[in-house]
């Protein structure tokens, strides 16, 4: 009988606890609907195409000089052959450096263009979550190693309790982020 009463009491306590509302936001869908996203895609494509064209021109120059070297290497004086080999090695290194710099440039351009959009969408997700009473909003697919949890109600944050359990005194909330 006592077990039955304890079971009923715990069930009643759970029944009175507010339900947590969980939703998700599909980033791909949201971005595909934004007019500025199409503009960003176009700018990124143009930037990438420009870099690709520059890389192809550098590679074409290298190939031309390599063919000329190969055609005349047997009849070249040693000093000229070494100069040509050094020039070809430098061209190869320049091509590799350009490829690395181009990749960095594309990433920087993407961050520059997408940063404000991510902020805008993140704020809208947070606002909708609060307005509609959601405790958590999840991201159903990861983009670029993005977060799974897009919004959470702070009352469900157990970080300070975990720190205390570990013997660490939590810093004030302003220093937490």
Share of the chain above pLDDT 70, in %: 71
The reported pLDDT for the residue numbered 173 is: 56
pLDDT tens readout for residues 4-13: 334 444 444 4
At residue 106 the predicted structure's pLDDT band, cuts being 50, 70 and 90, is very high
CA-based R_g, the chain, Å: 30
At residue 98 the predicted structure's pLDDT band, cuts being 50, 70 and 90, is very high
Query: Which of 130, 52, 158, 147 is closest to 95 using CA atoms?
Result: 52
Cα separation, 177 vs 175, in Å, equals: 6
pLDDT tens readout for residues 45-71: 999 999 999 999 999 999 999 999 899
Helix/strand/coil for 22: strand
pLDDT tens readout for residues 137-170: 877 666 555 667 766 667 666 556 655 666 667 6
> Above 80 in pLDDT, residue 99?
yes
On whether the CB atoms of residues 135 and 156 are closer than 8 A, the answer is yes
> Above 70 in pLDDT, residue 27?
yes
């Amino acid at each position: 009988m006592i077990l039955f009463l304890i079971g009923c009491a715990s069930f009643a306590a759970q029944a009175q606890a507010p339900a947590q509302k969980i939703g998700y936001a599909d980033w791909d869908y949201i971005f595909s609907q934004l007019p500025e996203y199409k503009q960003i895609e176009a700018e990124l494509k143009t930037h990438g195409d420009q870099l690709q064209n520059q890389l192809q021109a550098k590679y074409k120059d290298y190939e031309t000089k390599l063919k000329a070297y190969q055609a005349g290497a047997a009849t070249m004086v040693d000093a000229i052959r070494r100069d040509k080999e050094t020039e070809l090695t430098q061209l190869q290194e320049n091509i590799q450096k350009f490829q690395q710099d181009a990749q960095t440039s594309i990433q920087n351009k993407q961050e520059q263009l997408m940063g404000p959009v991510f902020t805008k969408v993140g704020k809208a997700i947070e606002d909708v979550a609060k307005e509609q009473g959601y405790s958590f909003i999840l991201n159903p697919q990861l983009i670029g190693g993005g977060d799974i949890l897009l919004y959470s109600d702070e009352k469900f944050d157990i970080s300070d309790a975990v720190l205390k359990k570990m013997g660490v005194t939590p810093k004030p909330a302003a220093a937490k982020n």
